[in-house]
């Protein structure tokens, strides 16, 4: 569940970040793609993850708990991003041609840190929600202190999931690339 939420949040963060930076491509995207992007914001995915984890523990989160879990995770999920490694992963995932176009059109410095941060934040949200759910199930009504070691996403998992998020976003990236080509020819 955590893996799926992280990859989905990362993929939608990629797609939404690129669409924000290329607004002229938006009219060329299928309505189903635009609807999917509107319904699947990373924050929505993260909130649903909290609900799903709580449900596994037989609990329902209060609104303040959801907000508190997200706030704790955001403050705990600071990850260092190695841009060279991220570029290599992008080329491996998308291929040299599409990644070359993407790197020229949308420099990684602008959007990659956001996507990786969304992935890391989603991981931290899931881990913290699980620890809160376990403690609440035992009868405590207070949020536990975050355990830093439990909230840190291992680097190898971060990069593997980043690659999966790129692959999941690939159809949208392909449509954006095609729309850009039509605009240039047009």
**pLDDT per position as a tens digit, 125-173:** 888 888 888 878 777 666 665 555 555 656 666 667 776 777 777 676 6
Mean pLDDT of the chain: 76
In this structure, are residues 16 and 92 in contact, taking their beta carbons and an 8 Å threshold?
no
Give the chain's end-to-end CA distance (angstroms, integer).
Answer: 44
Model's pTM, two decimal places? 0.67
Rounded CA separation 170/75 (Å): 30
Which residue did the predictor score with more confidence, 32 or 61?
Answer: 61
Compute CA distances 185 → 10, 11, 38, 66, 99, whole Å: 31, 28, 29, 47, 20
62: containing domain: 2-185
State the pLDDT at residue 71. Answer: 85
Region of poorest pLDDT, from 47-51, 54-58, 95-99: 95-99
Report the number of distinct structural domains present in the chain.
1
pLDDT at 124 (0 to 100): 83
Phi/psi at 155 (5° precision): -55, -40
Burial grade of 128 (CB within 10 A; 0-12, 13-18, 19 or more): buried
- What string of DSSP letters covers 39-81? H--HHHHHHHHHHHHHHHTT----HHHHHHHHHHHHHH-----
Least confident of 9-18, 99-108, 135-144: 99-108
């Amino acid at each position: 569940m955590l893996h799926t939420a992280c990859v989905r949040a990362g993929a939608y963060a990629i797609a939404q970040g690129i669409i924000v930076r290329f607004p002229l491509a938006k009219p060329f995207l299928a309505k189903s793609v635009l609807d999917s992007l509107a319904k699947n914001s990373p924050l929505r995915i993260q909130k649903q993850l909290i609900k799903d984890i709580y449900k596994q523990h037989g609990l329902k989160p209060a609104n303040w708990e959801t907000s508190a879990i997200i706030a704790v995770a955001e403050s705990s999920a600071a990850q260092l991003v190695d841009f060279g490694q991220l570029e290599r992963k992008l080329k491996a995932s998308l291929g040299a041609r599409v990644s070359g176009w993407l790197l020229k059109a949308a420099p990684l410095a602008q959007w990659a840190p956001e996507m990786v941060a969304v992935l890391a934040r989603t991981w931290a949200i899931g881990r913290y929600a699980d620890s809160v759910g376990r403690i609440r199930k035992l009868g405590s009504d207070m949020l536990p202190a975050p355990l830093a070691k439990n909230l840190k996403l291992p680097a190898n998992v971060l990069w593997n999931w980043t690659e999966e998020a790129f692959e999941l976003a690939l159809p949208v990236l392909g449509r954006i690339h095609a729309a850009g080509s039509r605009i240039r020819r047009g």
